[in-house]
């Protein structure tokens, strides 16, 4: 099986007290396969973040289901980790402690957790900043911590919610390139990435497939393959290997 996550017939509606429910997502069907880098594009307020939260199992759907490796997720999806637009770091924790948060629910010894966290800190380019606090770091470095915290749990799928949009142009460009290289060079074990973005250029640069959703309520209106010669040759056979 090479499908990691399947979103099946998902509806999501929210209701304010005393008001009718508003349908945010309607009849969403989506599959993410091993080795895919999927971009999700859509207008502001259309439901992109809601869709990522559904995939992560952080909120319940009104209808439909999400499966991970063929099994319905019950609550939080064990195969994913999230990166947020606003970094969502704990300001009172150091870089190392923030990254360790990503391992909070893993059954590992303290020594194993530290070893994994330190390795990931090095991979995301923050070697030497283990004991720094978020306020001592630039925006780009803070997002590197956010990415490290997500990667440390070795998720099959990385969910990224507009991760570069709070960064200045050059910082965003560096981080996009670095993340893409880590992934293509298999320095991280993450098999697939879902990137929510406003930027069509960003989607074309990073992703090999783009889904466009409309708003009110959100539906998938386009599902487009993006063929990028610039890095296609890096995607070799073991990227699309079958999972047992």
Interface residues with ligand ADP (CB under 6 A) are 14, 24, 42, 44-50
The partner in contact with residue 92, picked from ligand ADP, Mg ion, none with C-beta cut-offs of 5 to 8 angstroms by kind, is none
Both tokens of 92, joined, read 């009172």
Both tokens of 207, joined, read 């992703």
Binders of Mg ion in range 95-134 (CB under 5 A): none
- Shortest distance (Å) from residue 88 CB to ligand ADP: 14
Point out the residue whose Cβ comes nearest to Mg ion.
49
Identify which of residues 34 and 54 has a Cβ nearer to Mg ion in the complex: 54
Work out whether 215 is an interface residue with Mg ion (CB under 5 A).
Answer: no
- Shortest distance (Å) from residue 97 CB to ligand ADP: 28
CB 51 within 8 A of CB 80: no
- Shortest distance (Å) from residue 167 CB to Mg ion: 16
Identify which of residues 67 and 215 has a Cβ nearer to ligand ADP in the complex: 215
CB 33 within 8 A of CB 157: no
Q: Which residues pair with 72 in a beta bridge?
A: 67
The partner in contact with residue 217, picked from Mg ion, ligand ADP, none with C-beta cut-offs of 5 to 8 angstroms by kind, is none
Burial class of 198 by CB neighbour count within 10 A (0 to 12, 13 to 18, 19+): middle
The vertex-207 CA angle with 176 and 5, nearest 5°, equals 115
- Shortest distance (Å) from residue 140 CB to ligand ADP: 22
R_g (Cα) of the chain, nearest Å: 18
- Residue in the structure block whose two tokens are 């993410």: 32
CA 108 centroid distance within chain: 23
Identify which of residues 51 and 96 has a Cβ nearer to ligand ADP in the complex: 51
Identify which of residues 14 and 92 has a Cβ nearer to ligand ADP in the complex: 14
Ordered alpha helix ranges (H), 163-207: 169-184, 200-206
Of 147, 127, 226, 223, the C-alpha closest to 190 is 147
Indicate which single residue of 3, 13, 23, 49 sits in contact with Mg ion (rule: CB under 5 A). Answer: 49
The CA distance from 233 to 228, in Å, is 9
The partner in contact with residue 44, picked from ligand ADP, Mg ion, none with C-beta cut-offs of 5 to 8 angstroms by kind, is ligand ADP
- Shortest distance (Å) from residue 209 CB to ligand ADP: 18
What is the size of the binding site for Mg ion (CB under 5 A)?
Answer: 1
Angstrom distances, CA of residue 183 to CA of 4, 135, 145, 242 = 17, 28, 16, 18
The partner in contact with residue 45, picked from ligand ADP, Mg ion, none with C-beta cut-offs of 5 to 8 angstroms by kind, is ligand ADP
Identify which of residues 35 and 42 has a Cβ nearer to ligand ADP in the complex: 42
- Shortest distance (Å) from residue 25 CB to ligand ADP: 8
Strand 21-33 with 3-15, pairing: antiparallel
The footprint of Mg ion (CB under 5 A) covers 49
């Amino acid at each position: 099986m090479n499908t990691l996550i399947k979103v099946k017939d998902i509806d999501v509606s929210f209701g304010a007290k005393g008001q009718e429910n508003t349908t945010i997502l309607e009849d969403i069907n989506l599959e993410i396969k091993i080795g895919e880098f999927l971009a999700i594009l859509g207008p502001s307020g259309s439901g992109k973040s809601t869709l990522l939260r559904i995939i992560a199992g952080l909120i319940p759907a009104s209808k439909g289901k999400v499966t991970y490796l063929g099994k319905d997720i019950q609550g939080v999806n064990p195969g994913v980790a999230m990166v947020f637009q606003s970094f969502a770091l704990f300001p009172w924790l150091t870089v190392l402690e923030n990254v360790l948060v990503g391992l909070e629910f893993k059954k590992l010894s303290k020594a194993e957790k530290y070893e994994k966290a330190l390795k990931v800190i090095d991979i995301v380019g923050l070697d030497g900043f283990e004991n720094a606090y978020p306020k001592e770091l630039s925006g780009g470095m803070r997002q590197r911590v956010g990415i490290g915290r997500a990667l440390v749990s070795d998720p099959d799928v990385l969910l990224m919610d507009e991760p570069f949009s709070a960064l200045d142009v050059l910082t965003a460009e560096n981080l996009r390139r670095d993340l893409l290289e880590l992934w293509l060079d298999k320095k991280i074990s993450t098999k697939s990435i879902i990137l929510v973005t406003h930027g069509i250029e960003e989607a074309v640069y990073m992703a090999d497939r783009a889904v466009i959703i409309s708003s009110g309520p959100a539906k998938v209106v386009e599902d487009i393959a993006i063929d990028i010669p610039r890095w296609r040759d890096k995607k070799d056979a073991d990227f699309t290997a079958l999972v047992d």
